[in-house]
């Protein structure tokens, strides 16, 4: 607990649990591993709400919501890099924060290993799309706040889409828009865009990020056991779904565009 303690804040009791209001075991409607997917087909994704430009202080921003995954993203800069040597290319700095109420258990507002690993994954998905050679000595800051968390894979995929939309909204030059989709291997089936329960029940998860406009994959992150054949199938399914997400991103940017 000592590492996860900030004496400048009002800290709750050391361990607290939210009351269990519904007896989980008796809830018949709840999805359980082994059951077929509820309310959508295996290759369906959750409905996406995407709104660029919600945070007025930021250079560019986006808010994304897919059922119970809710992420706000703000982009600042390009601003001058501090405390680094001369660099010809710009730097892309991605930071992820979990809201204290984002998870089932309260999450102390301290940076830990999990948000940093998500930040690294999102950075990996975005970095090849941004034309960093145009921003010498500068840093572009991307801040993501996870307001509600429904699975890490979903956070990485949704966060990437939000960050790319926010970068486009900020007017930062990019090779293309990055979209991302997650998949989980449930038995022999591929379930796209899994939520937390599905991702933990699946044998393997895979997150793919790509630029559909250029037909280029920017990042693949795979967890768990998967055969090469199934892996390729997952990637193909994700890439197809990324094109759907791309049209959603495009639509939101077009409807948000105001000529200067």
Partner 1 sequence: MDVDLKLPGQPIQIPRGPAPQLSNGVYSRDGQVRASLVGIPIYQASTLSIRRVRPHPPTSNSIVLGTVTRLSPIQATVSITVVDGIPLLPGEEFTGVIRVQDVRATDKDRVKMGDCFRGGDVVKGVVISLGDAQSYYITTARNDLGVIFATSEAGYTMQAASWQEMRCPKTGKIEKRKCAKPEGL
* Site residues, partner 1 (CB under 8 A): 59, 76-80, 84-86, 129, 131, 135-138, 168-171, 173-177, 211-214, 250, 253-255, 257, 259-260
Give min distance, CB of 48 to partner 1, in A: 17
Looking at beta carbons only, is 82 or 104 nearer to partner 1? 82
Give min distance, CB of 167 to partner 1, in A: 8
In the three-class reduction of DSSP (H, G, I as helix; E, B as strand; rest coil), residue 2 is classed as helix
Looking at beta carbons only, is 9 or 79 nearer to partner 1? 79
- Given phi > 0 = left and psi -120 to 50 = alpha, else beta, which region is 39? left
- Give the pair of three-digit tokens for residue 162: 């939000």
Looking at beta carbons only, is 85 or 228 nearer to partner 1? 85
Give min distance, CB of 257 to partner 1, in A: 6
* Cis upstream peptide for 78 (omega within 30°): yes
- Cα–Cα dist 181/210, whole Å: 9
50, with CB counted inside 10 A (0-12, 13-18, 19+), is buried
Beta bridge partners of 138: 80
Looking at beta carbons only, is 63 or 76 nearer to partner 1? 76
Give min distance, CB of 154 to partner 1, in A: 24
């Amino acid at each position: 607990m000592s590492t996860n303690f900030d004496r400048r804040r009002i800290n709750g009791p050391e361990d607290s649990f939210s009351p269990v209001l519904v007896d989980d075991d008796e809830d018949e409607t709840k999805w359980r591993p082994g059951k077929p997917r509820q309310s959508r087909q295996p290759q369906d994704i959750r409905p996406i709400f995407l709104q660029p430009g919600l945070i007025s202080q930021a250079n560019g921003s986006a808010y994304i919501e897919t059922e119970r995954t809710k992420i706000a993203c703000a982009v600042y800069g390009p601003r001058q890099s501090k405390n680094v040597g001369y660099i010809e290319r710009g730097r892309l700095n991605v930071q992820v924060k979990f809201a204290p109420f984002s998870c089932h258990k309260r999450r102390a507002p301290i940076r830990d290993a999990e948000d940093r690993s998500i930040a690294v994954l999102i950075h990996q998905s975005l970095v090849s799309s941004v034309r960093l050679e145009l921003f010498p000595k500068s840093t572009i800051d991307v801040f993501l706040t996870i307001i509600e968390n429904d699975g890490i894979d979903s956070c990485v995929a949704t966060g990437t889409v939000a960050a790319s939309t926010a970068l486009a909204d900020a007017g930062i030059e990019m090779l293309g828009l990055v979209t991302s989709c997650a998949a989980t291997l449930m038995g022999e089936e591929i379930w796209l865009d899994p939520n937390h329960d599905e991702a933990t029940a699946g044998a393997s998860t895979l997150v793919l990020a790509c630029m559909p406009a250029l037909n280029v994959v920017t990042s693949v992150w795979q967890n768990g056991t998967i055969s090469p054949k199934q892996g390729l199938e997952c990637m193909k399914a994700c890439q197809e779904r990324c094109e759907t997400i791309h049209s959603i991103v495009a639509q939101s940017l077009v409807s948000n565009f105001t000529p200067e």
